[in-house]
Amino acid sequence: MNVPRPLWPYPRIVAHRGGGLLAPENTLAAIRLARNLGFTGVEFDVKLTGDGVPVLMHDDTLERTTDGSGAVADASYQEIAKLDAGSWFGNEFGGEPVPSFAAASALCREAGVWANIEIKPSPGQERETGEAVARTAKLLWTGSHPLPLLSSFSALALEAAAVESPELPRALLVVEVPPNWLAQLDRLQCVALHVSHRYLDAALVKAVHDAGRGVLTYTVNDSETALDMLEWGVDALVTDQLDAITPAFA
């Protein structure tokens, strides 16, 4: 399976939210763990604090993954930086902070880890978040090869990212593939389509490749499914099961 993939110059097995199910999601500890396990590609989510600082966070609210409460978009970076983002997962991660996008990028570059950066806007902040993430990524990853990949479910965020930093590659995230997927990729100038594995088949993989785009699938947590997807020719898969679906699969 280790063959050249001209449409996908990135790692093939990617750790979901940094460390999958083995560390608190979207933290520096998660990224370090993935790297220690041999992963050279991670996926994480970025959204904006109330004062416009990009931080790693999946949810619109703080309750699930920190000891804080309320909307991320209503809290300042200073307030969020003081929160504990690790104890909910396990005592050994107590005191792990919510990292800034800058800190996560610095760690990735230092560790030689490529990033699939999901732009995850809070409601009503699609363009603002797309612009901020793209602008910050351009600064933080200057000179990196390969560059990080910006992905999002939000077309508005991807449009804004394209205007802000057109040189950064982008990917459209979907659950079920819409009939007009190619028109959307063309309009947004995306290099890849990221699809839920539940709605992927070999014919779609071929169609996307025939259109000159890469295919990533998420979130694949069963080894047999992972092998099937790779056999179909998917360019990459995102997994939570870092101890079972390893970079050796590729």
Q: For the stretch 63-73, what's the b/e string if a residue is b when 16 or more beta carbons lie within 10 angstroms of its beta carbon?
A: eebbebeeebb
Rounded CA-CA distance 215/213 in Å is 7
Q: What is the pLDDT of residues 119-161, one digit of tens each?
A: 999 999 999 999 999 999 999 999 999 999 999 999 999 999 9
Domain boundaries, the chain: 13-249
In the set 16, 194, 197, 209, the catalytic residue is 16
Helix boundaries (H) for the chain:
28-36, 77-81, 101-111, 126-140, 155-164, 181-188, 202-210, 223-232
CA atoms within 13 A on the CB side of 15: 34
Global confidence as pTM: 0.97
Q: What is the pLDDT of residues 77-111, one digit of tens each?
A: 999 999 999 999 999 999 999 999 999 999 999 99
SS3 90: coil
Kind of pairing, strands 192-196 and 13-15?
Answer: unpaired
Kindly indicate whether the domain formed by 13-249 is annotated with CATH number 3.30.1360.30: no
In the residue annotation, 58 being an active-site residue is answered as: yes
In the residue annotation, 16 being an active-site residue is answered as: yes
Kind of pairing, strands 114-119 and 41-48?
Answer: parallel
